[in-house]
Amino acid sequence: MQTNVFLLSLAAGIISAVVFASATTGAMLLRVILFLLTPLSLYLAGLGLGAVASAIAAITATAAVLLIAGPLTAEVYAISTAVPAVICTRMALLSRGTETGREWYPLGRIVVIAALFAGLFAALALIVMGGNIDALTKMLRGAVETFVKSELSRIPGAPAIGAQEIDEITRSTLSTLPWALGLLAMTTTILNLWLAGRITLASGRLVRPWPDLAQFKMPAGATFVLLIAIGLTFTGGITGLFAASFAAPFTLAFALVGLGLIHVLTRGSPWRTFILTALYTGAVLVPHIGLLLALAGLAETVFGYRTPGKPPAPPNSPT
């Protein structure tokens, strides 16, 4: 490996570790943005410099986190950030020659890999937080009580919250926690992979042709994974929470398929900009729209409503 590539890989790892450490301080909005962008330099190294560079950057970043925050945090960082970056960028650059040209590794399978890592991270986080219902409930109840006493009491006109209300908030938080963790991890991976791809494409270093993202599809087997995971969430207990950890990222994956379906169906429509703007805004503000998109993605995976031969939208259109 050339010296400059090696040095760039080291720098990418150090940048990721520094951003990760910076995400623990400062204003909440800034912390969220920094957390979401923590893996970006790793993805840039992978897509722009190759799989070996990505591995060097990931090892460097994990070692730096180990020195900064300790073994447990480094383990979480490796599973949630470093390893997915290496594998996803490696898969994105895989290709094989065919009689009709070069075939690249399907985007749907990369999304499945991202979903599996997101589910693994969410499940690991639940284990770190307690590993069983009693421990998780105790931890969450303590957090809610602390918030009520130290933060809510400072807000003028805030309602009084007693022990019964705290118990209800705790139960609600416990049921939604694995979904939130899985969706956060999945969003982080997909966002950084897309953003790194756009940056690498603009720099001229992306070897893979930019795909028509609206046409990406999930493997048929992913449908069964989602349905089984959702079914297991009804079993309750820690098994149900672990199942929700994997159901969440796979739900988001199929919602992206549903979003792609809307993109394809609205191509050429004069209402396209309005429809997509309303859809994106609604998906952020109203969770039920995301569920409807996931159902649309499931239906598309099973029945196939998109027309593969339809030309993509112009470059200046949302895709």
Report the share of the chain in percent with pLDDT over 70.
91
Token readout for 190 is: 């997909």
Residue 318 has a pLDDT of 45
Q: Among 183-187, 219-223, 305-309, whose mean pLDDT is lowest?
A: 305-309
Residue 316 has a pLDDT of 47
Token readout for 67 is: 């020195």
Maximum CA extent, the chain: 71
Residue 62 has a pLDDT of 94
Residue 314 pLDDT exceeds 60: no
Token readout for 212 is: 């028509």
Of residues 114 and 314, which shows the higher confidence score? Answer: 114
Residue 163 pLDDT exceeds 60: yes
Per-residue pLDDT reduced to its tens digit, 67-114: 988 888 888 889 889 999 999 999 999 988 877 788 899 999 999 999
Average pLDDT, the chain: 86
Residue 305 has a pLDDT of 76
Report the share of the chain in percent with pLDDT over 90.
47
Phi and psi, residue 104, nearest 5°:
-100, 155
Residue 15 has a pLDDT of 93
Give 157's pLDDT tier (boundaries 50, 70, 90). Answer: low
The answer to whether 137 touches 174, Cβ cutoff 8 Å, is yes
Residue 296 has a pLDDT of 92
Per-residue pLDDT reduced to its tens digit, 133-153: 888 888 888 887 777 676 666
Per-residue pLDDT reduced to its tens digit, 284-302: 888 788 899 999 999 999 8
Note the pTM of the prediction, 2 decimals: 0.87
Output the 3-class SS for the chain: CCHHHHHHHHHHHHHHHHHHHHCCCCCHHHHHHHHHCCCHHHHHHHHHHCHHHHHHHHHHHHHHHHHHHCHHHHHHHHHHHHHHHHHHHHHHCCEEEECCEEEECCHHHHHHHHHHHHHHHHHHHHHHHCCCHHHHHHHHHHHHHHHHHHCHHHCCCCCCCCHHHHHHHHHHHHHHHHHHHHHHHHHHHHHHHHHHHHHHHHHCCCCCCCCCHHHCCCCHHHHHHHHHHHHHHCCCHHHHHHHHHHHHHHHHHHHHHHHHHHHHHCCCCCCHHHHHHHHHHHHHHCHHHHHHHHHHHHHHHHHCCCCCCCCCCCCCCCC
Residue 68 has a pLDDT of 87
Per-residue pLDDT reduced to its tens digit, 228-270: 999 999 988 899 999 999 999 999 999 999 999 999 888 888 8
Residue 119 has a pLDDT of 94
Distance CA 206, CA 49 (A): 9
Residue 226 pLDDT exceeds 50: yes
What is the domain partition of the chain in residue ranges?
Answer: 1-93, 106-319
Of residues 2 and 15, which shows the higher confidence score? Answer: 15
Q: Which position has the token pair 């396209």?
A: 272
Q: Mean per-residue pLDDT for 175-201?
A: 93
